[in-house]
Amino acid sequence: MLKIIFVTVFIAAPFTAMAQTSPENNAQPSGDAGHGKILFISDGCSECHGTVGQGGVGPHLAPKPLPAEAIASYIRHPAGVMPPYAASVVSDADVADIASYLRSVPAQPKLGSLPELND
């Protein structure tokens, strides 16, 4: 028993702590859709692009969003009325999460495929 406690506290714990704090661990090329949804709303993107990126004042971004790199380069230097977002405000990792969220939005069903509309 004591040996297990020793192994957990003195050997495993430092590795766990390292895993949580190492910068490599924060690199998420595929993005975290759940966190991306929170950011999409808290960063204000949803105000103009709709809660699920369906469009509004701004164009629709989902269900087939631009790649994360293209979104990042656009939001840093928008061409029209959209306000710019510096990397210090919305990091590349945040953009990867936002892109992942937008990719997770299901496509709208085709109108003719809804039974309610075919009665």
Least gap, CB of 40 to ligand HEC (angstroms): 7
Burial class (CB within 10 angstroms; exposed 0-12, middle 13-18, buried 19+) of 49: buried
Least gap, CB of 37 to ligand HEC (angstroms): 12
Q: With contact defined as beta carbons under 8 Å apart, do 25 and 18 qualify?
A: no
Size of the site for ligand HEC (CB under 6 A): 23
Nearer to ligand HEC, 83 or 112 (CB): 83
Q: Which long-range contacts (CB under 8 A, 24 or more apart) does 40-48 make?
A: 40/98, 40/101, 40/102, 43/85, 43/89, 43/90, 43/94, 43/98, 45/98, 48/82
Least gap, CB of 43 to ligand HEC (angstroms): 4
Over the window 57 to 96, marking each residue x when it contacts ligand HEC by CB under 6 A and - when it does not, the resulting string is xxx-x----x----x--xx--xxxxxx-x----x------
Nearer to ligand HEC, 18 or 47 (CB): 47
How far apart are the C-alpha atoms of 91 and 77, rounded to whole Å?
14
State the residues that interact with ligand HEC by CB under 6 A: 43-45, 47-49, 57-59, 61, 66, 71, 74-75, 78-83, 85, 90, 98
